[in-house]
Amino acid sequence: MKMKHCRLFLSVPFLASAEIQNEIPLGIEAVTGYRTEYVHRGFKLADDVFDFQLQSEVVLSDEWSINFGGWYATGTNKNSDFSETSGFVDFRYDQKAYSAGIALGFRDFTDTLFRDAVEVGPYYSWHMSEDVDVTFALTYDSGAQAWYGKTEIAWSKVLSDKSFISTLAGISIVDDYYGRDGLNDAFGRISYTYKVAQNVSLTPFLGTSLGLDEPEESTLFGGVWFEVTF
């Protein structure tokens, strides 16, 4: 089964194999990771975050597929404990030149300004080349009772049969989203993935979020993912 993942709801818009296609025997992907700071849609929610994610895909036809999964994260938020439990279902239509779909998800937060929410929204990805994708996504967040939109470009390059490098850069816009309106943040990430074994990989990464509405929210963070596929 060939899988191309689209990370829209899980804030780890970030799994180790997210930017390239992989052969996964059973179509199940498990990831655990650590990051120095957790930044979600331009808002810093916690420090020293550990997370676990599980995702799979069901191929319905040559064009249609369903991705689904969930994630749990825990960390520290000032003097309190932070946690998040999330899940999503993503209905996707693929063509050589583009992918499009709609994603539905939920989030359950503790000790953060973000409220529990159901999220839904469309997305469109233009495959400029084998290595470059440009994605547009719009999400309605019931917790904020507001819209969040983003445009991002992702590039990946295979370095060897055991490793590849990935980069991502984008900008987001919001409509009365937790007190913010208009341009929200510019964000980016660079990661290096090394295939430790046939179905095991390790990915260190660096990321940033530069606040456009709230400049003091600008931050730089790092971390690592450990991924196993089945």
Give the model's pLDDT for residue 126.
Answer: 97
Each residue's pLDDT tens digit, 139-191: 999 999 999 999 999 999 999 999 999 999 999 999 999 999 999 999 999 99
Tell me the three-class secondary structure of 82-94, residue by residue.
EEEEEEEEEEEEE
- Contact (Cβ atoms closer than 8 angstroms) between residue 168 and residue 189: yes
Return the half-sphere exposure (C-beta side, CA atoms, 13 A cut-off) of residue 91: 5
Give the model's pLDDT for residue 214.
Answer: 81
Each residue's pLDDT tens digit, 38-91: 999 999 999 999 999 999 999 999 999 999 999 999 999 876 789 999 999 999
- Contact (Cβ atoms closer than 8 angstroms) between residue 83 and residue 74: yes
Give the model's pLDDT for residue 15.
Answer: 41
Give the pTM: 0.86
Q: Report residue 83: phi and psi, to 5°.
A: -150, 155
| Cα 129 to chain centroid, rounded | 21
